[in-house]
Amino acid sequence: MGTLVVLGLTACATPGAPAPQGSEQNAALPVTAAAASSSAPGRSDSSNALAAASAAAAAIADGSAASLAPGAAAAATHNQKVESSAYVAGQGEGPVLLDPPVMGDDTDLWQRLRDGLALPDLDNALVRKWEAYYSRRPDYVQRMTERGGRYLFHILEEVEKRGMPADLALLPFIESAFNPQAVSHARASGMWQFMPATGRDFELRQNLFRDDRRDVLASTQAALDYLQSLHKQFGDWHLALAAYNWGQGNVQRAMRRNAAAGLPTDYESLRMPAETRNYVPKLQAVKNIVLRPDDFGLALAPLKNHPFFLSLPIVRDIDVALAARLAGIKLEEFQALNPQLNKPVILAAGTPQILLPYDNAHLFAEALAEHRGPLASWTAWVAPRTLTPAAAAELVGLSEARLREINRIPPRMNVRAGSTLLVPRAAHSTQDVTQHIANTAMLALAPQQGQGRRVVLRVGQRGDSVSAIAKRHRLRAVDVALWNKVSTQARFKAGARVVVYKAPVRQATARQRAAKTGSVRAAAPKAKGKTTVSATAKAKVKPAAAAKLRIAQGETPKAR
């Protein structure tokens, strides 16, 4: 296969890196495609993106190289932070090679991965346990490997560039089963399962419009950065993996305890939680299955040693559904490659590139060039002050029910000042969302006055369901689901935190209670030596207690 240079790429050499041997005959041909300004008069959204799309289509279609003029500042900022193999809108030092160095047409991706396995082997009862676990679940392994096929080439490329063991490319199998939408009960998210704070440490943005912990390129870079730093700290890959799962502070303390007791400080000798104790054995079991699938009665989905996806620039805001349609793929497939998107619109200022299947990249570029009309039907609106949903809906020209539905605003909650809401974009509008909003947008809610206080519940060891929690706390299941951003059929795992809002308890006065129950004796003077009880109170007393109460009031008990 000849070498091809395009404007967007994931599995390829880093921008500015030396080209492989034999690439001289495919030297880049300069093609300029500067994106038109969003304020250009008389031009539609699609025509503003025409130049970039045409250059992309030409580059992919004829196998030539495309070097684009610099695009939006947001694209440059994003690419400086994500030094992936994606080359977006000419922000790199030079063109990027699409294909890796030729390794032989008969080499599949699994064999390439096997050739790079280098971690010391672990052989114990826990490894046997997980080998048996996967062997008994061939359908699960099949789904995992098919899903992982989208991402494994890119991850292996990145691992090899850093000179890291290829074993680490298998880590998402045990972290998330290669599901970039996976969320743990502790709120770790994405293919590499980053906790919110750790994600921020590695510059993975988490806001209203995107969560980079789920971004295929950004999260892979962050995970490998983290693993490299842990290996540098501990000097041992097994300890580095334990720290990735448990935290480096915990591993350090466990090592100090062993050292103080005169015990070895290797992975197998440390005292650690069951999850971490099983972590490396699970990885070893997956590694053994990749090496010898037949020994376990399993078959690995065939994977070509070739990029699954390409990266293409986005210079204007565009609806997710429209992008998928222009690429000729189902919405689910688009979301599998671009799982970081939280809303039905892609903001160019915050997400200046999208990933598309290799064979669909040119379709998207050509269809985008031919598209007429608006690209985005959604935009962002910032609340100027704290508002009720009804007031906010009136300001943006929506019904309250529609605004609540679009933005998942729970009942009895106000929208705080400075919050960003997703609203329909006016048909005549050509203004895209600014970079500041795209990178910082958050939705902050506050209980309406007198409507409740925020309570955080901890789920017990057996887990719990939305409906059961709602019933126990006398709430609506739909409210509990909205407050926690889950479905009404969802279950919470043991240890999960669940947020509910409880209405304040008002203490009624004696006069109010009397008026409500219609009791005369509650307000009448008490007779000496006699207890007076309202009709409502009597109704709530158990039969045995009621009999004692009647005797105390001077009544004669009836014979049974």
CATH 1.10.530.10 occupies which residues in the chain?
119-296
Is the pTM value of this prediction over 0.85?
no
CATH architecture of 119-296: Orthogonal Bundle (1.10)
CATH 3.10.350.10 occupies which residues in the chain?
453-502
164 touches 225 (CB < 8 A) = no
175 in catalytic set: yes
Q: How would you write 270-303 as a 3-class SS string?
A: CCCCHHHHHHHHHHHHHHHHHHCHHHHCCCCCCC
- pLDDT per residue rounded down to tens, the chain (560 residues): 333 333 333 333 333 333 333 333 333 222 222 233 333 333 445 444 444 444 544 444 444 333 333 233 333 333 333 333 333 333 333 223 333 444 444 579 999 999 999 999 999 999 999 999 999 999 999 999 999 999 999 999 999 999 999 999 999 999 999 999 999 988 899 999 999 999 999 999 999 999 999 999 999 999 999 999 999 999 999 999 999 999 999 999 999 999 999 999 999 999 999 999 999 999 999 999 999 999 999 999 999 999 999 999 999 999 999 999 999 999 999 999 999 999 999 999 999 999 999 889 999 999 999 999 999 999 999 999 999 999 999 999 999 999 999 999 988 899 999 999 999 999 889 899 999 999 999 999 888 865 567 889 999 888 899 999 999 988 888 778 878 878 888 899 888 999 888 766 555 555 555 555 554 444 444 444 443 444 444 444 445 554 444 444 444 444 44
CB atoms within 10 A of CB 93: 11
* Options 175, 268, 370, 555, the catalytic residue: 175
Q: Show the CA angle centred on residue 100, arms to residues 98 and 101, nearest 5°.
A: 130
Return the residue matching tokens 């932070």: 81
437 touches 382 (CB < 8 A) = yes
Which of 128, 212, 231 has the alpha carbon at shortest distance from 171?
231
Candidates 3.30.479.10, 3.20.20.70, 3.10.350.10, 2.40.40.20; CATH matching 453-502: 3.10.350.10
Helix (H) or strand (E) holding 435: helix 435-440
Across 497-551, where does the E strand assignment appear?
A: 497-502
